[in-house]
Structure 1
Amino acid sequence: MPAVPAVPRVAERPAAGSRTSLDVLDCCSPVDAHQVIDAGEAELLAARFKALADPTRVRLVSLVAAHDDGEACVCDLVEPVGLSQPTVSHHLKILVDAGILTREQRGRWAYYALRRDTLDRLAASIATGPAR
């Protein structure tokens, strides 16, 4: 009869409270409390990301940013997105309410400008946690 190879024995787990080098490898990296977003910041960021979760609004932000002086009249934004002026104004209002754009009324027309500080905070929140 052929010899059966020996089955290696599985090592028993160490007693509670003791650690081995394998335990360190199985463990998650520690959380840096300075990079964790608190509940209030998470609500604000979620509202801003929700405002940007529409392709038309992303295009509008891009169009405003592309203007030479960093601001655009609503009349300049209607044709490029192919929507009616009231619909474009509705999308712009959502972006203003989220703090992504500012709005200034000049006579009959409203002019919109990017809030770069808000966009910088959104980008920083994705890359490193809450903005400092």
Structure 2
Amino acid sequence: MKCYDENAKIIKALSEANRLKIIDILSCGEMCACDILEHFDFTQPTLSHHMKVLIDCGIVQSRKDGLWSYYALNNSNCNKLILFLMNLITDTDECICKEKSKCKCKYD
């Protein structure tokens, strides 16, 4: 199932260059906000805004440990996005011209 609205929210979040760079950084594994910030020329509040957008669309997850915030990719949702994009550009049995059902998948 296509889930256009949910995937459009993720794609919109990823359409900003700094957020793509954050995803690339997090592909190495979980990182503290302070370590992510070292890769950028902006302030901690700006990083917090970018992280909130990525968390809200479900592509990044966070956890607190004392005063520190740690971020990691939500691999399940990343995989769902990859499958969506692959199905979107491939003629499959789920192609919109062959299927009339409504979207029923949800991101965490």
> Does TM, normalized by the shorter one, top 0.5?
yes
- 1:39-118 mapped onto 2 (5 Å cutoff): 41-66=3-28, 70-118=29-77
d(CA) in 2 for partners of 1:85 and 1:93?
12
Q: Which amino acid aligns with 2:33?
A: V
Q: For 1:81-124, what per-residue CA distance to the aligned partner results, in whole angstroms no more than 9, with x for missing partners?
A: 22111101110111001100101011111000111111111111
The AA in structure 1 aligned to 2:63 is E
Question: Do 1:59 and 1:81's aligned partners in 2 also have CA atoms closer than 8 Å?
Answer: no
**Percent identity over the alignment?**
32
Which one-letter code corresponds to 1:81 in the other structure?
Answer: F
**Deviation at 1:64?**
1.3
Q: Which runs of 5+ in 2 are unaligned?
A: 89-93, 95-104
For the 8 Å contact 1:101–1:112, the answer to whether it is kept is yes
RMSD over equivalenced CA pairs, Å: 1.6
Higher relative contact order (CA 8 A, sep 6+): 2
Larger radius of gyration: 1
Deviation at 1:73, TM superposition (A): 0.5
Which 4+ runs in 1 deviate beyond 6 A?
A: none
SS of the aligned residue for 1:80 comes to: coil
